[in-house]
Amino acid sequence: MRTVDPVKHAAKKRHITDTAAGLFAEKGFDRTTVADICKAAGISTGSLFHYFPTKQAIFREVFEQDGQDNAAVFAQAREIDPWDGVQLVIDHLSAPALDRSVAGLVMEVVAQAGRDPELSALITRNEQALRDELAHLLQRAGDAGRIELPVSALTAASWVQGLVDVLFTRLVDPDFDAAEQVTTLRLILSRFLGAPAP
C-alpha cells in the first residue's frame, strides 16, 4: 500500500484551494466549473476529486484554511509583547484587503453562506474563535498596561473585528485606497484602545 506524504498532500490541497479561491473571486462560485479549477491548477478531474468530493467542499476549505491561518498567527502573537501581538493580528486580518480581487470572494461567501449551512456554521466558528482569541490578547495587553480598554475585552474584540470587516465591504469602491485605509484603521484602533499611535 502506498503511503501518503502528509506534507505533500497538504501542499497539493492548498494549491487547489488557492487556485479555486482566485477563480471564485473572479468569476463567482456558480460560474466557476470543476474543469476551470482543474485547468488552472494543472491537475486532472480525478486528482481533484481525490482531495475534494465536491466544488462546495473546495469553497468551504478556503475558509477552513483561513481559520487555520488565523490560529497560526495567534500562536505567534501569544509569544510576543501583547500589544505587538494585537498589531500582528490586525495586520494579518487586514492584509487580504490590499488585493482588490478579494472583493469578489467576499461577495461570494455572503451569497453561499445563505445556501450552505455547513459553510455558515464554519464562518460562525471562525468568527467566534477570532473574537475570543483577540479578546484574550487585548485583555493581556490591558493587564500589562500596554493599552487602556474602554470596554470589556470581548466588546473591544468585536469592535476590532467590525472595523477590519469594513475594509472588505469598501473594496467594491474603485476609489477606495486600501493601503491608505489600513494605515487609518491602525490609527483608529490605537486611539480606541488607548495605545501608542502607530
From first to last of the 198 residues of the chain, give the pLDDT tens digit: 556 678 888 899 999 999 999 999 889 899 999 999 999 999 999 999 999 999 999 999 999 999 999 999 999 999 999 999 999 999 999 998 888 788 888 888 888 888 999 999 999 999 999 999 999 999 999 999 999 999 999 999 999 999 999 888 888 788 888 889 999 999 999 999 998 766
Distance CA 165, CA 127 (A): 11
Closest by CA position to 41, among listed 61, 16, 64: 16
What are the angstrom distances between the C-alpha of 21 and each of 44, 59, 103? 18, 7, 12
| pTM, 2 dp | 0.86
Closest by CA position to 146, among listed 86, 62, 58, 74: 86
User: Position of cell 506534507?
Assistant: 7
C-alpha angle 168-169-171 in degrees, rounded to nearest 5? 65
pLDDT, position 6: 82
Residue 116: how many other CB atoms lie within 10 Å: 17
Residue 49, H or E segment: helix 45-51
